[in-house]
Amino acid sequence: MKYFKHALRIDPNSVNANFGMAKALQQYSEDKEAPIPHFMLVIEKDAENFKAHTQLGILYLDREEFEKSAHHLKKALSINKKFPLALLSMGNLLFETNHPENAIKYHKHALKYNPNELQALIGLGNAFYDTQDPKESIKYYKKAIEIDEGLSDVHYNLGNALYLVEKIDDAIHHYQAAIKLNPKKAESFYNLGNAQCVKNEYNEAIKSYQIALDIDPKNAPALYNLGNALYMVNKYEEAVQSYQRAL
């Protein structure tokens, strides 16, 4: 960052120095607005700078300023329709604004230029899940995990998709993988308990629900399902107590 500050003192209007400063601020500054003026100056001096438009689209997407994000991402793609980061970001924007079918198109387009683009694979998994196509969702989540096994949320989402297609053992495996990576997520334990109940493993499910409740004591669905599991192992008084807490 010192280099870019020095360059900007020499020439405050330098496109390269402003772009470099903006990227450095994106990475290192807690002030999420700080990069914006530098990217805007880049565009003022070079209106066809699709990389600056893309970065502005990403910044505005992170700030949930969706109209501004769409403006800059559309501009970037009008200049370079094959820029993978702009395609990926447009897919992310469409997903965040509840257009998963259109998000799929952009994420698939991004994969044409980089078949191992992790965020596009995850984005496709999420979008297909939202369009109620868990089989396609599973395919892309699995590809993402092949690239990076340490993605707790992807393991969790994959578990959910596998549960929907009744591959319960596989769902359990991925819930357990998600828990190993992030043991503080109550939803992972809750869904693990649900999968264990499907297999009639009620004692194991009770343990999972109890851990979910240790993390989130007011989780009403976990309290209710814990009551069901306790009832199935003839612990009627404890089941009633759990049902009452769920109310």
Residues 32 and 63 sit within 8 Å (Cβ to Cβ): yes
Name which of 25, 27, 47 is nearest 36 in CA terms.
25
Residue 13 vs residues 43, 76, 224: alpha-carbon distances, Å: 11, 21, 62
| Percent share of the chain, pLDDT over 90 | 94
* Mean pLDDT (the chain, rounded): 96
Over residues 191-210, the pLDDT tens digits come to: 999 999 999 999 999 999 99
Over residues 37-69, the pLDDT tens digits come to: 999 999 999 999 999 999 999 999 999 999 999
Reported in sequence order, the residue ranges of the chain that DSSP labels E, i.e. its strands, are: none
pLDDT of 106 reads 98
Neighbour tally for 188: CB within 10 Å: 28
pLDDT of 4 reads 84
Taking 80 as the threshold, does the pLDDT of residue 125 lie above it?
Answer: yes
Q: What kind and span of H or E run contains 44?
A: helix 35-45
Name which of 136, 132, 157, 130 is nearest 145 in CA terms.
157
Taking 90 as the threshold, does the pLDDT of residue 1 lie above it?
Answer: no
Over residues 69-81, the pLDDT tens digits come to: 999 999 999 999 9
Over residues 205-222, the pLDDT tens digits come to: 999 999 999 999 999 999
Exposure of 111 by Cβ count < 10 A (0-12 exposed, 13-18 middle, 19+ buried)? buried
pLDDT of 83 reads 97
Name which of 160, 202, 165 is nearest 177 in CA terms.
160
236-246 and 220-232 are packed helices; what angle lies between their axes, rounded to 10 degrees?
A: 170
Over residues 151-183, the pLDDT tens digits come to: 999 999 999 999 999 999 999 999 999 999 999
Give the global pTM: 0.91
Residues 144 and 151 sit within 8 Å (Cβ to Cβ): yes
Name which of 105, 146, 155, 110 is nearest 128 in CA terms.
105
Taking 90 as the threshold, does the pLDDT of residue 5 lie above it?
Answer: no
195: its two tokens: 């999968």
Least confident of 7-11, 42-46, 51-55, 122-126: 7-11
Res. 87 pLDDT band, cuts 50 70 90: very high
Q: Which residues of 203-220 are buried (b: 16+ CB within 10 A; e: fewer)?
A: ebbbbbbebbbebbeebe
pLDDT of 6 reads 81
Residues 42 and 54 sit within 8 Å (Cβ to Cβ): no
Residue 43 vs residues 1, 15, 28: alpha-carbon distances, Å: 20, 8, 22
